[in-house]
Structure 1
Amino acid sequence: MRIALLTIGSRGDVQPFVVLGAELRGRGHEPVLVSGADFRGMAERAGIGFRALDTIGTDHATSVLTDPGVRAALRKGPSLYRMAAAVPRPPRADRRALTDELVAATEGVDMIVNTTLTRIGALTRSTAPWCSVASWPITATATWPAMGAPALPLGGRYNRLTHQASSALEWLLYRPEVNAGRAAAGLPKFGLGSPFRDDGVVRPILYQFSPHVFPPPPDWPARCHVTGYWSDDVRWDQPAELTEFVERGEPPLVAAFGSAWLVGGETLLAASVAAAAETGRRLVVVGGPVGDLPDHVDAIRSESADFTWLLPRAAAVLHHGGQGTTAAVVSAGVPQVIVPTYADQPMWAARMAALGVAAPPVPYSRLTASSLAAAVRAAVDDPAIADRAFALAGAVRGDRGVREAADVVESYAATGR
């Protein structure tokens, strides 16, 4: 069975699809990753096919997060809507070209797996069954409000209303592109009601996080699958000097801010160094601004690291709350200090604090050296946080994760046409 895996974004958005592709390949299928050209090597290392989206180009995520308008918006707060309004909108011709590429990439396949950003191609014109993958809860529920909506104590009706408003706003954004593509293909246009509401009802939606982190609420439909994290046993290259540094002393703090380095690298680095100095901790910086670290802290910077090896050896991990990094830290079973910067990161930061495995979040818009140092102390000085983090890691390791996701894909491909 030929299966197209369509995703765009940063490494954290793409790597889970590569893991899914490797699982499907092991089951005898022919998965093809469809994404920005940056990720060809990742697909090839996993032994799966690859097709580049030329309209995305290289360093797409970098260009968005380094845009001055986006940076200015995120300094005010992590609002997803403020960030979306600040992102430069591509010309209409470029948006149409991307939709056409998404459609072309699925010609002749037996099954399509989309993100919530790439499903516009399937809605435009698709002859194969398809499902979506989401990195955070998006299905309507009375249990909690939509991401980005105020968490007001107004009950289930209010929570459902926020989901309806969020869905309507999303469809308002995508409807012109989808309907233009459908008209060009001779298909009827969609009305005001969002077809995205069918995700989890008519077709599956795969949630790539653990039910031990976000248990599915009782009012979610049956085709919402909270599978567990999509992880693998692949080991990443790590410089020998990093291994030596970690092994020669007390467990260090690990600053791993991923894509958030692009937004405020110098600010995040300075705060991390100051927090290490104030708490007397050693420091490992993964990624971040190029340059020497100050001499007054026992620290090392590495462009790459094997998180499977490194993170369990940390006293605490300082990170941005991206879904992929959060999954890695949860699986490592160590305390967390989260500086949420944009998109879904505030939600994951709040969830980790609620589970008792992280200090209270330190939002990027209010980040200072002293606030980060206080959060580090809260995380590493409370043994209960370490105990809960260790227990949560043991629970999520019992999830079937990518195997359950592959089961759903295979089943729907056989029955969902």
Structure 2
Amino acid sequence: MKIMLLTAGSRGDVEPFLALARAACLAGHQVRTAVPDNSGADGAGLDIVSLHIDFAQLVSEQGVSPRAAASAFRSVIRPAMATLFSAAVEHITAFAPDIVVYHPKVLTAPAAAYSLGIPSVLVETVPSLTPTREFPAPFLTTRNLGPFNRSTYRAAHLAALMFRRELARALQALPPGPVPKAAALKMRHQATLIPASPRLLPRPADWPSSVHLTGHWPATPIAGQPDAELEDFTRGGDFVYAGFGSMKAGDAASRGEAIITAARRNGLKTLVSEGWGGISVPPASRGADVLVRRSVEHHLVMPRAAAAIHHGGAGTVHAAARAGIPSVVVPFIADQPFWGHLLNRAGLAPEPVPYRKITADRLSHAIAQTQELRGRAAETGAQIRQEDGTAAALGVLETLAVS
């Protein structure tokens, strides 16, 4: 089977697709994966093509605030997404796959697949498109709105309207076929995969059978061990991991100072991953109990940590839970409050601390709370490590491709 995977966003959006690609290759399938540039994810050994968009650069230039995104929409975001849409159509057409699997940002994927007469499968790395009565759309609120929960999912479908001209223009590159391009634009996927652990996200009772909660798709560990400095640090006493991934907003130095002060009050060292600029460590806060890196592999350090302080992205949430350690979630935007709420509900994290409200006192209190959550975290981690989410996903794809 020839499988075309397409994803867009930060490292947390790319790594699950690379995990699925590797699992599919091991199962004997031919796989091509289209990804954004400079994601930080490791695609070594895979057939990788570019979507010609750099989300790291977009974040660096615009930050993550909704206001900044709104002001840059016409001049920066719209042209960048137009390039992505066109690249996706070109890659699907050139590869001629048997099935297309795509991230929600790749809006041209289902239309291109339909025009070529092949099935498409949506991957909701965040369960934000399939309506349910059990919780509102994660990008909007964590407050349960009861009978109004389902209606909140309508907002997520407005993206196609925002980019309708760019979508229509990208589809012009499709070869002539029996399906008019205008009609293809309205076509939907045949199934949905949600690469989340049911230990964190219990399946809603009203999801249709076409939606598959597969379990987590963990990033494939890179062979090797931590370098000597990292090995000594992580083996030399209890520490907290702190990293905000692709987030960049506000005063990163003040956040770094608050994190390190809070860890010290709890008798812990701090391993800081600066990521795309969400944390920086001022010279006055540095010391032998602080190690700063641009990035670190989660699977090498999280199982050794006492707790993880992070932004609550889906990938980092699952990495910490899989490692069997408690989290302190500091949400910035979008779905991050949702995941922080789920971890808190599962007994794996105290209540989230919004990034605008970070203080050393609040973080110190939250870190102290994680001590009583370690047993529950270890138990949950063992359960998640037994899941085989990519195998479940491949089963769905294989069934669709031959039907």
2:182 is the alignment partner of 1:189: yes
Closer, same or farther: CA 307–95 of 1 in aligned 2, 3 Å: closer
2:291 is the alignment partner of 1:300: yes
Question: Which TM-score applies when normalising by structure 1?
Answer: 0.84
2:19 is the alignment partner of 1:31: no
The structure 1 residue matched to 2:191, chosen from 196, 204, 229, is: 204
Partner of 1:219: 206
Cα deviation, residue 111, structure 1: 1.6
Cα deviation, residue 270, structure 1: 1.7
Aligned to 2:34, the other structure's residue is in SS state strand
The structure 2 residue matched to 1:137, chosen from 118, 127, 152, is: 127
2:58 is the alignment partner of 1:64: yes
Gap regions ≥5 residues in structure 2: none
Closer, same or farther: CA 267–378 of 1 in aligned 2, 3 Å: same
Cα deviation, residue 151, structure 1: 5.2
Letter of the 2:58 counterpart: V
Partner of 1:363: 354
Equivalent residues of 1:64, 1:87 under 8 A apart: no
Equivalent residues of 1:283, 1:297 under 8 A apart: no
Distance, in Å, in 2 between the alignment partners of 1:343 and 1:215 is 20
Aligned residues, how many? 388
Distance, in Å, in 2 between the alignment partners of 1:285 and 1:339 is 14
Aligned to 2:4, the other structure's residue is in SS state strand
Letter of the 1:85 counterpart: A
Equivalent residues of 1:293, 1:300 under 8 A apart: no
Cα deviation code 1:139-163 (max 9, x no counterpart): 011111112334556523x112212
Moved more, 404-413 or 172-181: 172-181
Closer, same or farther: CA 348–86 of 1 in aligned 2, 3 Å: farther
Cα deviation, residue 248, structure 1: 2.1
Distance, in Å, in 2 between the alignment partners of 1:328 and 1:374 is 23
Equivalent residues of 1:111, 1:129 under 8 A apart: yes
Distance, in Å, in 1 between the alignment partners of 2:40 and 2:368 is 41
Gap regions ≥5 residues in structure 1: 74-80
Q: CA RMSD in A?
A: 2.7
Distance, in Å, in 1 between the alignment partners of 2:139 and 2:268 is 35
Cα deviation, residue 123, structure 1: 1.8
Cα deviation, residue 135, structure 1: 1.2
Partner of 1:102: 88
Letter of the 1:53 counterpart: L
The structure 2 residue matched to 1:271, chosen from 247, 258, 261, is: 258
Closer, same or farther: CA 86–332 of 1 in aligned 2, 3 Å: farther
Closer, same or farther: CA 286–411 of 1 in aligned 2, 3 Å: same
Closer, same or farther: CA 222–411 of 1 in aligned 2, 3 Å: same
Partner of 1:373: 364
Equivalent residues of 2:140, 2:334 under 8 A apart: no
The structure 1 residue matched to 2:218, chosen from 231, 240, 252, is: 231
2:322 is the alignment partner of 1:334: no
Distance, in Å, in 2 between the alignment partners of 1:228 and 1:9 is 21
Distance, in Å, in 2 between the alignment partners of 1:315 and 1:92 is 42
Distance, in Å, in 2 between the alignment partners of 1:91 and 1:162 is 24
Equivalent residues of 2:196, 2:214 under 8 A apart: yes
Aligned to 1:215, the other structure's residue is in SS state coil
2:120 is the alignment partner of 1:122: no
Partner of 1:314: 305
Identity of aligned residues (%): 30
